[in-house]
């Protein structure tokens, strides 16, 4: 916990006031001589920048009234009205604070623990001076609100008592975990341990009677620096024991207990300043002043929070913008790299394309053929390599034939496509369609019609000579087509010497 860095503390004690200034973690006493009245505070503030940092008011006096009650099941506005009436029932002082918790006893409802400063006029006069000067009053606190022990030998979840030295006696503060439930300043001079133990027992009986503690509760006690209070021959306060559940702490050096602050030489190292150091370390969220007294501080905090939210939003949006800008820059760089690679590949392709043989097929057709071959190689059951190889070997013996079109696929031959009668009761075996290749070609020689037809017939017989290959002649050269015009007279036959064959191979 680093604590606050800049603040002013108004310490009210015995009708007088002291002002401590916390600047960049350094604590200085701004009033070497205690101020005796609110008028003196007004005069002192004339030469002091009261608007710069928030004010924390610590009231160390013996007019604290603690009360306990229970709250029925209420919500919303009715709950706030009930709590206000409950607090007003115990005292009309505007300096009050109450907290809700689950009761430790069998009493039904929510437990309400409250604290009121009864002689509020003594505090109000000092605060009005600061409010008239538009000071940022952050809150009004009492020493009992701060859990000032360190190195506790018990659990924080248990009720426990802290005894601390005070110029007017001994302060008794009861915490339930870290929640304050009771505090009182036992006035007088306690000469021995027996009188202190008697005060502890009286306090336990009182809290049990008020249902603030369960029956037969024995409070663990932490005694803070009672060596100056005990007036006996014992030099070592560590020997102080009430019973086996009581402990002693001799952390008299407040500067060592709170090393996050730099203490000026003008500040006396007094035990009473322990509460102030704890307050500056972590000011409680709850305090005693009415909300109207904190209007300037609250407004300043809201403005500060608004600026912080705005700044955080700007930083977040700037971060997103920078991230997206970096991402866009990376994409642009990637696009530039791809453009350069594409240009390099285009130049490389043009240099390679110069070595290609002359062919009527365009680049797109070649790319499509390559992609088709890649797909065919990935199909183990459909590979036209055998059909194409057989057709290629047969063409070697017929150089006058020129292929115009090849259509490869899977198709049943006509005789296999007809359904056959199957004996009843037997499942029908599925028929697997074999590979089919449709061939369309023409003649490149000046042979006669008869010779050209004979050449195609010989080519068909050469294909049929291969085992497993079935061939069907679909069209012979100079066959008449049903869709062609038939005219009389002596004319030149314009039919092209084309032929079509259908090949099947399982």
Of the two residues 307 and 111, the one the predictor is more confident about is 307
Q: How many CA atoms lie within 13 A of 186 on its CB side?
A: 21
Cα dihedral 406, 411, 413, 417 in deg (nearest 10): -160
Handedness of CA 488, 490, 494, 497 (dihedral sign): positive
Global pTM reads 0.54
pLDDT for residue 234 is more than 60: no
CATH number at residue 503: 3.30.1360.100
Residue 337: the pLDDT is 92
Give the mean model confidence (pLDDT) for residues 368-387.
Answer: 76
C-alpha–C-alpha distance, residues 100 and 111, integer Å: 6
Of the two residues 409 and 334, the one the predictor is more confident about is 334
Q: Would you say residue 181 lies in a domain?
A: yes
C-alpha–C-alpha distance, residues 168 and 335, integer Å: 82
Q: Would you say residue 73 lies in a domain?
A: no
Q: In the structure encoding, which two tokens stand for residue 385, read together?
A: 């390599």
Q: What is the pLDDT of residues 145-175, one digit of tens each?
A: 876 554 444 455 677 888 777 767 777 888 8
C-alpha–C-alpha distance, residues 482 and 479, integer Å: 10
CA angle 192, 193, 196 (to 5 degrees): 100
Residue 497: the pLDDT is 84
Phi, psi of 490 (to 5 degrees): -95, 105
Residue 474: the pLDDT is 92
Query: Highest mean pLDDT: which of 56-60, 149-153, 361-365?
Result: 56-60
Q: Would you say residue 238 lies in a domain?
A: yes
The total domain count for the chain is: 2
Query: Highest mean pLDDT: which of 102-116, 286-300, 355-369, 389-403?
Result: 389-403
CB 268 within 8 A of CB 253: no
> What is the band of 442 on the pLDDT scale with cuts at 50, 70, 90?
very high
From residue 498, give the alpha-carbon distance in Å to each of 404, 472, 476, 504: 9, 15, 7, 20
For the chain, report the end-to-end CA distance as a whole number of angstroms.
87
pLDDT for residue 233 is more than 50: no
Percent of the chain topping pLDDT 90: 10
> What is the band of 138 on the pLDDT scale with cuts at 50, 70, 90?
confident
Q: Would you say residue 98 lies in a domain?
A: no
Please state whether beta strands 137-141 and 55-59 pair in parallel, antiparallel, or not at all (unpaired): parallel
Domain end point (choices 194, 221, 250)? 250
Segment among 46-50, 182-186, 248-252, 402-406 with least mean pLDDT: 248-252
Residue 229: the pLDDT is 55
Listed residue (213, 225, 235) closest to 107, CA to CA: 213
From residue 11, give the alpha-carbon distance in Å to each of 49, 72, 220, 272, 381: 18, 38, 30, 10, 97
pLDDT for residue 246 is more than 60: no
Q: In the structure encoding, which two tokens stand for residue 75, read together?
A: 């919500």
pLDDT for residue 390 is more than 80: yes
Q: Would you say residue 454 lies in a domain?
A: yes
Residue 349: the pLDDT is 84
How many other β-carbons are positioned within 10 Å of the β-carbon of residue 78?
Answer: 10
Q: Would you say residue 241 lies in a domain?
A: yes
How many other β-carbons are positioned within 10 Å of the β-carbon of residue 159?
Answer: 22
> What is the band of 144 on the pLDDT scale with cuts at 50, 70, 90?
confident
Q: Which residues contact 197 (CB under 8 A, 6 or more apart)?
A: 242
Of the two residues 114 and 394, the one the predictor is more confident about is 394
Segment among 8-12, 244-248, 251-255, 300-304 with least mean pLDDT: 244-248
Name the helix (H) or strand (E) containing 366: helix 363-377
Residue 488: the pLDDT is 55
Domain end point (choices 250, 283, 309)? 250
pLDDT for residue 414 is more than 90: no
Residue 1: the pLDDT is 45
pLDDT for residue 251 is more than 60: no
C-alpha–C-alpha distance, residues 35 and 158, integer Å: 40
DSSP secondary structure string for all residues of 96-122? EEEEEE--SSS--SEEEEEEEES-HHH
pLDDT for residue 91 is more than 80: no
Edge-to-edge strand list for the sheet holding 6-13: 137-141, 55-59, 6-13, 16-23, 26-29, 262-263
Q: Would you say residue 400 lies in a domain?
A: yes
Phi, psi of 30 (to 5 degrees): -85, -15
Q: What is the pLDDT of residues 255-282, one digit of tens each?
A: 667 777 777 776 765 656 777 888 888 8
CATH number at residue 182: 3.30.420
Give the mean model confidence (pLDDT) for residues 48-65.
Answer: 81
Segment among 3-12, 90-99, 213-222, 483-492 with least mean pLDDT: 483-492
Domain end point (choices 222, 250, 278)? 250
Give the mean model confidence (pLDDT) for residues 73-79.
Answer: 74
Q: Which domain holds residue 166?
A: 151-250
Q: What is the pLDDT of residues 450-475, one digit of tens each?
A: 888 999 999 999 999 887 889 999 99
Residue 143: the pLDDT is 83
Give the mean model confidence (pLDDT) for residues 243-263.
Answer: 62
SS3 298: helix
C-alpha–C-alpha distance, residues 57 and 276, integer Å: 9
Q: Would you say residue 396 lies in a domain?
A: yes
Of the two residues 476 and 369, the one the predictor is more confident about is 476
Percent of the chain topping pLDDT 70: 75
From residue 309, give the alpha-carbon distance in Å to each of 78, 250, 285, 305: 33, 45, 21, 6
Gyration radius of the chain over CA positions: 52
């Amino acid at each position: 916990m680093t604590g606050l860095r800049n603040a002013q503390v108004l310490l009210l004690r015995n009708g007088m006031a002291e002002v401590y200034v916390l600047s960049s973690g350094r604590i200085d006493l701004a009033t070497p001589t205690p101020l005796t009245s609110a008028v003196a505070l007004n005069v002192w503030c004339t030469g002091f920048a009261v608007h710069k940092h928030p004010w924390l008011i610590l009231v160390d006096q013996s007019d604290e009234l603690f009360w306990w009650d229970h709250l029925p099941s209420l919500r919303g506005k009715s709950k706030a009205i009930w709590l206000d009436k409950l607090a007003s029932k115990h005292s009309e002082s505007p300096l009050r604070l109450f907290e809700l918790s689950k009761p430790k006893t069998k009493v039904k409802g929510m437990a309400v623990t409250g604290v009121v400063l009864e002689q509020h006029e003594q505090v109000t006069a000092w605060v009005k001076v600061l409010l008239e000067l538009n000071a940022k009053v952050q809150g009004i606190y009492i020493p009992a609100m701060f859990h000032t022990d360190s190195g506790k030998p018990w659990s924080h979840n248990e009720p426990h008592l802290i005894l601390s030295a005070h110029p007017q006696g001994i302060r008794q503060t009861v915490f339930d975990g870290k929640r304050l439930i009771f505090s009182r300043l036992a006035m007088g001079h306690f000469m021995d341990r027996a009188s202190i133990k008697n005060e502890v027992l009286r306090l336990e009986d009182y809290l049990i009677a008020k249902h603030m503690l369960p029956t037969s509760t024995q409070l663990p006690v932490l005694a803070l620096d009672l060596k100056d209070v005990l007036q006996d021959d014992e030099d070592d306060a560590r020997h102080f024991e009430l019973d086996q559940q009581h402990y002693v702490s001799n952390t008299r050096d407040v500067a060592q207990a709170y090393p996050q602050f730099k203490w000026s030489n003008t500040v006396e190292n007094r035990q009473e300043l322990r509460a102030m150091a704890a307050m500056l370390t972590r000011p409680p969220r709850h305090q005693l002043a009415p909300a109207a007294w904190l209007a300037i501080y609250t407004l300043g905090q809201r403005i500060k929070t608004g600026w912080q939210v705005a700044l955080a939003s700007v930083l977040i949006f700037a971060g997103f913008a920078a991230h997206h800008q970096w991402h866009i820059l990376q994409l642009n760089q990637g696009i530039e790299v791809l453009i350069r690679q594409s240009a390099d590949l285009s130049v490389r392709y043009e240099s390679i394309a110069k070595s290609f043989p002359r062919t009527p097929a365009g680049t797109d057709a070649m790319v499509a053929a390559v992609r088709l071959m890649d797909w065919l190689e990935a199909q183990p059951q459909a590979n036209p390599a055998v059909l194409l190889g057989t057709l290629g070997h047969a063409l070697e013996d017929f150089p006058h034939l020129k292929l115009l079109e090849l259509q490869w696929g899977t198709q049943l031959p006509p005789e296999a496509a007809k359904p056959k009668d199957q004996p009843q009761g037997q499942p029908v075996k599925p028929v697997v369609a074999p590979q089919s290749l449709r061939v369309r070609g023409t003649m490149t020689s000046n042979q006669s019609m008869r010779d050209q037809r004979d050449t195609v017939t010989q080519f068909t017989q050469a294909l049929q000579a291969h085992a497993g290959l079935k061939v069907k002649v679909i069209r012979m050269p100079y066959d008449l087509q049903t869709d062609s015009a038939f005219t009389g007279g002596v004319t030149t036959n314009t039919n092209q010497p084309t032929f079509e064959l259908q090949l099947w191979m399982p």
